Amino acid sequence: MAESLVTIATFNEPTEAHILKGRLEAEGILCFLGDEHIIGAYPLYAMAVGGIKLKVTENDVDEAKTILRRIWQGNTLFDYDTLDEMAPPEPEPAAAEAVLCPRCGSDQTKEKPYFLQAFFGPKYECRSCLHRWKP
């Protein structure tokens, strides 16, 4: 079913209209600008045609107005709930293979960073008994 477009704001300046359009698109809202080109070509016509219209689909009117209101109130912080939806899924943590200490059998071992191994020798250190060894 075709949705109709609803004008949620008008602007005299194409720049402001584009900035807010981009901001709404970043939130996943499909939007369009109406009468942008006539006002771009003849800025004095802005008043005559009623400004550049920022339009969204009927379903997005409430959300888009909420976002615009937040911007105009000076609260431009991202909605972190929305950001989570947009962020790529976090990779599964690699199943770290526990290295067991050869002396005490503890799995509380740590691998030294590679550059430190060049100076300090042994690659692993046990946090329980402080034993150091190379695999």
Q: Could you tell me the smallest distance in angstroms from the CB atom of residue 81 to Zn ion?
A: 45
What ranges in 4-96 are assigned the alpha helix state H? 14-26, 36-41, 46-49, 61-72, 80-86
Between 69 and 103, CB nearer to Zn ion: 103
Between 65 and 112, CB nearer to Zn ion: 112
Between 61 and 100, CB nearer to Zn ion: 100
Q: Could you tell me the smallest distance in angstroms from the CB atom of residue 130 to Zn ion?
A: 7
Between 70 and 132, CB nearer to Zn ion: 132
DSSP 35: S
Exposed/middle/buried for residue 99 (C-beta within 10 Å: 0-12, 13-18, 19+): middle
Residues that bind Zn ion (CB under 5 A): 101, 103-104, 106, 126, 128-129, 131
Q: Could you tell me the smallest distance in angstroms from the CB atom of residue 67 to Zn ion?
A: 56
Q: Could you tell me the smallest distance in angstroms from the CB atom of residue 104 to Zn ion?
A: 3
